[in-house]
Amino acid sequence: MQELLKQNNIALRHEIEQLQGSLIEASENLPEELHAYTEWIAKECKFHHQRVLDNLEYLEFGQENLLKDILSETELITRAFYRLNGNQVSPILRARASDRLSLEFLLWLHATHPQMKSVPAAICDGEFSVWPIQPTLYATPCTSQQGLRNLPIFFHEFGHLLYTFHQPEMDALVNELQGKIRALLHSSMDRNDEYERTRATERDIIVHTWYEWAQECFCDAVGFVMGGPSFAYVFSTYFRILGKSGYHLPREDLARSSHPVAWIRIHLLADRARQVGYKEVAADLEEKWSQVAAALGVVEDYYGFYDPKDPKFLSVIQSKLDDMLTETSPREFQDSEVSNQEESTFTSPVALLNAAWQKFQDDPENYREWEEDAIARFLDADI
């Protein structure tokens, strides 16, 4: 066991030192916006390196009674280093000049919230997602890193970070929502006959499914509250042409889904936009999704998981999402950031994103030229 542990710790020491060398080499050309994240990674490497050196020192004592503790410590270091080496360091080693746009936006985004302003953030390549821990790693498709239109999706991912930081309180609110949904289902589905046992099982499945669905709907609500119409437009455009699964799923697939059908989420976004006076945005979302659904031959049916014809269903969901927003307090967009006032466009990221979507809708053919100039001006501005 002594020799085995020595081999593993020497191997760890070598890999950590190798990674430290790569970080030093990469740091020469890193965007300034990545420095805080890089410092965190470098400190972690130094910390784990010292733990390995301590293990090797203890092994030199040759005392068998220490081996169990050294084994445990080696396991912990190995797991931590694998995470560091596999995911967390990649934003630094893959960094490129075009990362500045996303990184600048994420720095601003985290700075809008008192709990997140000290949490370093970075991006990596992949489908939109987030690793909601410290430091926070946001995955985004390669071309989305270089433009404005898809940046509002980061607001949704930021919602997952807010949920994680408030998890006990948020879980309690989701449980309250599940109770209200159960009550709605009971009143509409309860029958005193031989099918009641089946109905009860169906209710349990629906209520259980809404635990994860509520989290996604909360993140969508964060997206709209922070980004305004820009989030509604990017969400609609990103998901509306991905096939029938965005509009309808069989009952058994709904029960296994971690995300609500996108059409349900559109209903919630449209309602939220309408509530704060953006009726044209709401109508645009509903009209375009109805057009695609008709072309696909889809008729709305969520098998009791959601009922678009029952206003009580929408009301209980939105009410509880409002409570979740109150608990987490994300920054709210201002009407002036949607009205495309020139003086605010390049000092407020939200104003810039809403301006981008307005430009794209008005003149998609010439949008790219406007976007290139807008990005350059935004990166030169002091936000």
Kindly list the domain boundaries of the chain, sorted by start residue: 2-146, 153-328, 335-380
Instruction: Provide the pLDDT for residue 194.
Output: 66
Q: In what order do the strands lie in the sheet with 136-140?
A: 121-125, 136-140, 129-131
DSSP 346: T
Which of 1-10, 83-92, 201-210, 268-277 is predicted most confidently?
Answer: 268-277
With beta carbons less than 8 A apart as the criterion, state whether 303 and 185 touch.
no
d(CA 61, CA 259): 54
pLDDT in tens, 155-181: 999 999 999 999 999 999 999 999 999
pLDDT in tens, 315-349: 999 999 999 999 999 999 999 999 866 656 677 89
Q: Which of 160, 145, 127 is nearest to 33 (CA)?
A: 145
Instruction: Provide the pLDDT for residue 312.
Output: 93
With beta carbons less than 8 A apart as the criterion, state whether 123 and 105 touch.
no
Query: What's this model's pTM, rounded to 2 decimal places?
Result: 0.91
